[in-house]
Amino acid sequence: MLDLGTLLILVTTKHTPATMIVFVNEIHQHDERRSSAGNEPGEEPERLFAGDHHARLIDERVPCHIISRVFQGRHLLRPEPALNDLILGVVGRAQVLFPEVELFALAVMSNHLHAMARGPAHGLPFFIGYIKREISRRFGHRPDIDWPDGMWSPYIATALPTDESQIRCFKYIAAQGTKELLVERPQDWPGVQTVKASMLGRALRGAWLDATSYFRAQQAEARKRQPAPVRRADFLHTYEIKLSPLPAWAALDEETRRARVAALVAEICAEARAEREQRGQAALGAAAIMRVSRERRTALPKPPWFEKRKRMICWADPHAEEVRAYLRAYWDFQLAFKTASRRFKDGALDTVFPARAFRPSYRPPPPPASPSP
């Protein structure tokens, strides 16, 4: 049994051969160091985290694989040029607002998105939230979409602490649309897919509308006796997506990195071709993808690391030293957050929470009712 108190499960899948993955069981077995501190009197140490949600740990040194699903699996994000331009503009604007976040890869499918990014706890969650919120606001309010509420389910962030895990995740994101036999090559996906930019160095640009300034300009002109037309194009800003090199390839020159990406794409195409030949079917094609109804609902295929009733910490080899170090930091963080949270709920409002944690909000109780006269 490992002293890290985690359940290690070896999973082999068709798309990730011999992949070893670190899961967390619903009830954890804690080592002596963890079980000897932070428990209430009379509490069983091994049930410290039983049945609880874990506090999200965002480590600015470790890239994350991020998945977010569209509500009910609807194909609300079915690719089209206008939507692609909007998404790229929103992502570019998010990079301006949160420059501390590094984006390595992005693939936006019809009913979910994949991203690989790295950033601090005060930046990365807000970067993701901004992208999801702005897509919902700007695209969902279109008359032909008419989706007034949020489009998204909560996102999942999975740590990638090793070079091997980062390269494998990059390939997995690049394979979106191809491994499902929708298109023959990753670069053929009609939606937003950054693999072409990573492989060929082509710039990805999108337009972002400064809607606040646009609306204020319209209001100002409307108050005039002879209002002048307000051109929407004057409030559009073009942003170019900045893709950071994978930390695993940071020491390589740009030409070598592009060659590595091209090699991964060739592997993806070969694997998809073999799958199509085995099934005796052709790829669906971009035109058919763009004709799918937005009301269609499709359950997402389970990621390679998914297993029912398990929580996942990181998608990497559990025997790697980087993974062991990350798990030790992860459990130290969970223990510190759990201890601080209990003290906070008991009324100690000056409780100090661990670094990288979000302090819970607090609403003071209402004052006692004054006695009636």
User: What are the pLDDT digits (tens) for 158-188?
Assistant: 999 999 999 999 999 999 999 999 999 999 9
- Residue 237: inside a domain: yes
- Residue 150: inside a domain: yes
Q: Looking at residue 152, which CATH number applies to its domain?
A: 3.30.70.1290
- Tell me which range, 13-17, 127-131, 146-150, 364-368, is most confidently predicted by mean pLDDT: 127-131
- Residue 89: inside a domain: yes
Number of domains in the chain: 1
This prediction has a pTM of 0.82
pLDDT in tens, 11-42: 323 333 333 344 443 223 333 333 333 334 33
Q: What is the reported pLDDT for 20?
A: 39
Burial label for 334, CB within 10 Å (0-12, 13-18, 19+), is buried
Domain range for 177 is 64-308
Lowest mean pLDDT among 86-90, 145-149, 220-224, 316-320: 145-149
Q: What is the reported pLDDT for 311?
A: 54
Q: Which residues contact 255 (CB under 8 A, 6 or more apart)?
A: none
Check whether 105 has a pLDDT greater than 70.
yes
pLDDT in tens, 316-327: 888 899 999 999
Q: Could you tell me the two tokens for 274?
A: 């073999």
Please say whether the beta carbons of 34 and 5 come within 8 A: yes
Q: What is the reported pLDDT for 257?
A: 96
- Residue 42: inside a domain: no
Kindly report the backbone phi and psi dihedral angles of residue 15, in degrees, each rounded to the nearest multiple of 5, phi listed first: -95, -20
Q: How confident is the model at residue 101 (pLDDT cuts 50, 70, 90)?
A: very high
Please say whether the beta carbons of 15 and 299 come within 8 A: no
Rounded-to-integer distance, Cα 113 and Cα 132, Å: 10
- Residue 51: inside a domain: no
CA distances for 258 relative to 34, 72, 102, 199, 205, angstroms: 45, 36, 18, 5, 19
- Residue 196: inside a domain: yes
Check whether 303 has a pLDDT greater than 80.
no
Kindly state the percentage of the chain with pLDDT values over 90.
Answer: 61
- Residue 120: inside a domain: yes
- Residue 31: inside a domain: no
For tokens 């008359």, the residue is: 143
